[in-house]
Amino acid sequence: MNEKENENKFPLIGDKFPEIEVQTTFGTKSLPNDYKDKWLVLFSHPGDFTPVCTTEFYSFAKRKKEFDEINTELIGLSMDQVFSHIKWAEWIEDNLDQEINFPIIADHGKVANKLGMLHPNTGTNTVRAVFIIDPRGIIRLIMYYPQEIGRSVDEIIRSLKALQYSDKHKVAMPENWPNNLLFKNKVIIPPAKDVETAKKRKEEYKDSCYDWWLCYKNME
C-alpha cells in the first residue's frame, strides 16, 4: 500500500463512493459497481467475536428481509481476516440461530483508510460507521458511533425510507419521520426560492403552512 492509499480520509455526503475491489465472505466484490440499481448499507465494526458487534450483526441479519423490501443490500466490514469472519458467522448461526445472510469485507486497511474508519488511538479497530450509498453510487448518509454504543437498525431503515421518499417526491422529511411530534407522517414542502413563490405559498397551502417557509402536506 502506498502512502496515498494509507491516508485516513473522511468522505463527504454527496461524494461518489470510491471504486474498490474487496474480499468478502461471499467472494470478491467490486464496490459500488456490483450494487448498481440498488441502495447499499456499508457498515464497519471494531472486531469479530465482540459482544456489541455480535448483537448488531444478529439484528441486521434478522431484518434482512426488510432491507430487501426497500431495494437495499447490506455489507459489513472489519479488519479481521476472512476466515475469522466465516468462523464468527458460524458461531452466530450455531449459538443464536441466525444465519449471517450478507457479505462481510475482510479489510486490510484499504477501505477503512479511504473512508476515515480508523482512529489513530484504536489500532486496527474500525469505528462503527454506516454509509448509505444510493443506486448511482453516491454517498447519501454517514453515521459514526463510538465502540461502546451499538447502532439502531430501526434508524438505518427509517433513514433509507426517508431518503427514498424524498428522492421520489422532491420533499423534505421532518424529524423522526414518519413519527414527527409536529407533523406526524406528513412531509415538508421545500421553501420557496423566489419572492413570487413565497407570496403564493401560504395561499396555495392554506391549512398547512405556519409561514411561507414552513409548509407541509400529506404523503402521496
List, by residue number, the catalytic residues. 53
Name the β-bridge partners of 215.
Answer: 189, 209
91 in Cβ contact with 99 (< 8 Å): no
Q: What is the dihedral of CA 180, 185, 186, 191, to 10 degrees?
A: 40
> Rounded to whole angstroms, how far apart are CA atoms 72 and 26?
17
H/E stretch holding 51 = helix 51-62
19/26 Cα distance (integer angstroms):
18
* Nearest-angstrom CA–CA distance, 84 and 102: 15
DSSP secondary structure string for all residues of 171-186: -B--TTTTSBTTTBT-
